[in-house]
Amino acid sequence: MKHWLPLFLILFLPKVPFAQDAQSLDFRAIKLGLTGLEAVPEDYPFAQLYSLEAPRPDGPSVRDYLSHLKIQQALAHPRNRSFVLNKTLSDSLEVTDGRQLIQLINGFEYPVSPGIPSDNTLAISKGGILLLAFNSAIGGYDLNTGEMLYSTARYPLGFIGLPFNGPSDNFYDPKLLYDEVNDRFILVFLRGNLPNTSGIIVAFSNTNDPRDGWNAYLLPGNPLSNNRWTDFPTIAITKDELIFTANFIVPNEPWQTGFDGSMIWQMGLSEGYAGASDIDSRLWFDIRYNGKYIRNIHAVPSAERPDRDDLFLLSNRNFSLSNDTVFLVHLSGKRDDPNSTLEIKALIADKPYGVPPNAWQKDTDTTDPGSGFDTNDGRVLGAFFVNDHIQFASNTIITSNGRPGIYHGIIQDPYDSNPILTANYLSHPRLDLGYPNIVWTGTQRCEKQSIIGFNHTSPTDFPGFSAVFYSDLGEYSPITYIKKGDNYVNRHGGKYERWGDYFGLQRDPNNPSEVWASGYFGKIDLQNGVYSAKVLSPDTLHLSLMASSDGSNALCTGSVQALAFGGIEPYRYWFNGEESFSSTQSGFCLGDTVEVTTEDAIGCKMTKQLILGLDNAQIKNSLYPNPSDNQAAIRFTLAQGGELKAVLSNSDGKQLQIIKQDYRNAGTYELSFQTSFLSSGIYYVSIYLNDERISSEKLIRL
């Protein structure tokens, strides 16, 4: 298995850089032969040697440099017990369904201990599959049955990467996501930390159940053949592509020269799901701002189902003691688009961030800034984009109390020429916080609410993980424990312990207000474990609108009443585009169409339409041809806008199919549908408006 380098089929086809300070090349990602556990050879050595320490980021001497920075921070900002958590809410989060990953060995249960660092990440499907990843394996649960996905608890990443050099390789840095549109999982991880072994493995689940195997592809970790290896991946999807980022690292170099730029890859989703023999891919590299590399670029996933071909990415000056610059990167166009561009804007925040000090636990030497939990640097670790803003989270120092805490940034209107960046700090008078992630919990695009998850520790609190809720009003809930630690952690035997490097967080696609989390916690045996739990947000009521009329006559004295509820008061009202000081407007005639709009205090809007003189429950309809052979159509008129649903039922009233479900404004419609799949007999087509059945017609199938 030593022939893998030639299989890259690298196509060095330089493109004209379409944005200043960036270049791109085309590649082919080659499919690996292994697709699932059933394909593992019978003689595979299931006894494996795991690396407890993943490759150090940015070169071997980065820790020495970071330790020097942390000493500077400790001297400049001594620790105290001040509290920094902006505008606290009375509501807190609810935690449920906690699960510790357990493996069975000779009939005994043992909690799983991941590698070092733990690199927690997760994804959950709408079918109830909770998939966890950690160094250097995946695991998880079928929430429908409560069973673990794999009988051995952990399914090694080496199984997926087996065709290329087998289990002796170092597989690490897993990242997971779930594609709700295609109902598939995506797993990206790295192999090797030398230019001649470095590779990127991208795996697409064959079905919506990862136990059915993966279509796995290999990309080069040294794609420019210039003595570099790949580190620190992040991933997101657009409408049709997978986007992932990473760093170029020079081997055996200090961090000042060891980092050699960041990269952005584009790959096709449909090809990966279909198991194509190879996938055309584009690599962006030499990404600079004002001639200098930007580093640790983080892909910003869409909080909703992605429906665009472009993507935002973020970077910052993560090794600075104090800095207020965040780089907003915009990738527009697909990998085969000759007009694709990569644009970079430098945004100035209203609050600075900086390298965080190490976190303390029970055995930390508090006189030594190099002791304790390693908080690494201030890079962006989690983000999302929705509607008109981006939210992100990173590690930082809280200068007012000298502790490691969370930097929560909000970029308003990222498509504008001058986006606005504001930020808040999350901290605690006793707990040290680190390695955050963030997800959106809204259901209306105007909402900004989110949950921020992170690790916590202190000399008196064993390592665990927690979360806060960020409301639509810009307020934060109190910190809620998700998992308390059972003991402190002592795995390295040195003065520091690895504490991250990632935090798994994803909302349930079936319920946006329910979020699954997987972080770091200390087990009773001084190891760290794998734990997941569901977090329920204290979600506010969503904005809704009811509109009605009191009837009208030929004198055009009819009135329309609007009633808004939910959302955030006060409400504003418009009637046919003109704002009103009242929720009631008069002067309408029989047959007039009236469009009523309301807006709440945070800018959420809702619109309804009425046709005066028609009962809101009245629908004029006709079903034809009836009897029907292979196709039928139904005509109807909606007196007001709302959620329309057309349902086909049998003669016993059992629902067979939802023919159509969508929001529709007031008006007249015709809906056609196939009947050829039906057996001969009697059926019913029912029309619902806002979940109220307002019509039902008999259909005879010949």
How far is the C-alpha of 210 from the C-alpha of 184, rounded, in Å?
A: 8
Mean pLDDT of the chain: 86
Categorise residue 87: left if φ over 0, alpha if ψ from -120 to 50, beta otherwise: left
State yes or no: pLDDT of 618 exceeds 50.
no
Cα–chain center distance at 205: 18
Average pLDDT over residues 146-160: 88
Q: Within 9-167, where are the H helices?
A: 62-76, 157-160
* DSSP strands (E only) in 68-183: 94-100, 102-105, 108-111, 121-124, 129-134, 137-142, 147-148, 155-156, 171-179
Highest mean pLDDT among 13-17, 502-506, 663-667: 502-506
> How far, in Å, are 22, 409, 420 from residue 346 at the CA level?
16, 14, 11
Cα–chain center distance at 631: 42
Cα dihedral across residues 314, 446, 502, 322: positive or negative: positive
Domain boundaries, the chain: 5-40+82-536, 544-611, 621-701
Does this chain's domain 5-40+82-536 share its CATH topology with 621-701?
no
SS3 breakdown of the chain: % helix, strand, coil, rounded to 5?
Answer: 5, 50, 45
Encode pLDDT of 187-202 as tens digits.
999 988 889 889 999 9
Any idea which residue has 């959420």 for tokens?
604
Q: 46 pLDDT band (50/70/90 cuts)?
A: very low
Q: For the chain, what percent of residues have pLDDT higher than 70? A: 87
Residue pair 309/334 in contact (Cβ under 8 Å)? The answer is yes
Cα–chain center distance at 286: 27
Categorise residue 261: left if φ over 0, alpha if ψ from -120 to 50, beta otherwise: left
Report which of 358, 276, 306, 9 is spatially closest to residue 180, judged by C-alpha positions. Answer: 306
* Domain 5-40+82-536: CATH architecture, name and number where available: 7 Propeller (2.130)
Instruction: Specify the pLDDT at position 63.
Output: 59
> How far, in Å, are 312, 469, 510, 533 from residue 514 at the CA level?
25, 12, 9, 10
Amino acid at 43: D
State yes or no: pLDDT of 20 exceeds 60.
no
Q: What letter does residue 589 receive in the DSSP assignment?
A: -
How far is the C-alpha of 288 from the C-alpha of 20, rounded, in Å?
A: 8
Average pLDDT over residues 610-615: 67
Range with lowest mean pLDDT among 70-79, 118-127, 612-621: 612-621
Q: Which one has a higher pLDDT value, 361 or 42?
A: 361
* DSSP strands (E only) in 429-571: 432-440, 450-457, 464-470, 480-483, 496-498, 504-508, 511-522, 528-536, 544-549, 558-565
Report which of 123, 117, 169, 114 is spatially closest to residue 143, judged by C-alpha positions. Answer: 123
How far is the C-alpha of 240 from the C-alpha of 34, rounded, in Å?
A: 25
Instruction: Specify the pLDDT at position 492.
Output: 83
How far is the C-alpha of 191 from the C-alpha of 47, rounded, in Å?
A: 19
Q: 435 pLDDT band (50/70/90 cuts)?
A: very high
Instruction: Specify the pLDDT at position 428.
Output: 92
Instruction: Specify the pLDDT at position 624.
Output: 77
Q: Which residues contact 654 (CB under 8 A, 6 or more apart)?
A: none
Range with lowest mean pLDDT among 45-49, 273-277, 341-345, 370-374: 45-49
Q: Which one has a higher pLDDT value, 628 or 274?
A: 274
State yes or no: pLDDT of 242 exceeds 50.
yes
Categorise residue 341: left if φ over 0, alpha if ψ from -120 to 50, beta otherwise: beta
Average pLDDT over residues 613-638: 70
Instruction: Specify the pLDDT at position 260.
Output: 93
Instruction: Specify the pLDDT at position 162.
Output: 67
Instruction: Specify the pLDDT at position 547.
Output: 85
Instruction: Specify the pLDDT at position 8.
Output: 32
Q: Which residues contact 663 (CB under 8 A, 6 or more apart)?
A: 641, 642, 643, 644
Q: Which three-class secondary structure state does DSSP give residue 71?
A: helix
Instruction: Specify the pLDDT at position 484.
Output: 96
Residue pair 204/121 in contact (Cβ under 8 Å)? The answer is no
Q: Which three-class secondary structure state does DSSP give residue 412?
A: strand
User: Tokens standing for 657?
Assistant: 């199919």
State yes or no: pLDDT of 609 exceeds 90.
no
How far is the C-alpha of 463 from the C-alpha of 527, rounded, in Å?
A: 11
DSSP for 394-407, written as a single string: EEEEETTTTEEEEE
Instruction: Specify the pLDDT at position 66.
Output: 79
State yes or no: pLDDT of 632 exceeds 60.
yes
Encode pLDDT of 78-118 as tens digits.
998 776 665 555 568 999 999 999 987 777 888 999 988 99
* DSSP strands (E only) in 238-295: 241-249, 259-268, 278-285, 288-289, 292-293
Residue pair 309/365 in contact (Cβ under 8 Å)? The answer is no
Average pLDDT over residues 262-283: 96
Exposure string over 389-400, b if 16+ CB within 10 A, otherwise e: bbbbbbbbbbbe
State yes or no: pLDDT of 505 exceeds 90.
yes
Encode pLDDT of 520-561 as tens digits.
999 999 999 999 999 999 876 788 888 888 755 556 778 899
Average pLDDT over residues 62-70: 75
Cα dihedral across residues 438, 440, 446, 449: positive or negative: negative
Taking CA 479 as the corner, what is the angle to CA 474 and CA 483, rounded to the nearest 5 degrees? 140
* DSSP strands (E only) in 589-680: 593-599, 605-611, 621-624, 631-638, 642-650, 655-664, 667-674
End-to-end CA distance of the chain: 63
Average pLDDT over residues 116-131: 96
Any idea which residue has 């090809």 for tokens?
271
Residue pair 325/346 in contact (Cβ under 8 Å)? The answer is yes
Instruction: Specify the pLDDT at position 14.
Output: 36
State yes or no: pLDDT of 320 exceeds 70.
yes
Instruction: Specify the pLDDT at position 83.
Output: 64
Average pLDDT over residues 585-596: 85
* DSSP strands (E only) in 159-273: 171-179, 184-191, 199-205, 214-220, 229-237, 241-249, 259-268
Q: Under CATH, domain 621-701 is a member of which superfamily?
A: Macroglobulin (MG2) domain (2.60.40.1930)
Q: For the chain, what percent of residues have pLDDT higher than 90? A: 58
Cα dihedral across residues 535, 537, 538, 541: positive or negative: negative
How far is the C-alpha of 384 from the C-alpha of 450, rounded, in Å?
A: 10
Q: Which one has a higher pLDDT value, 165 or 410?
A: 410
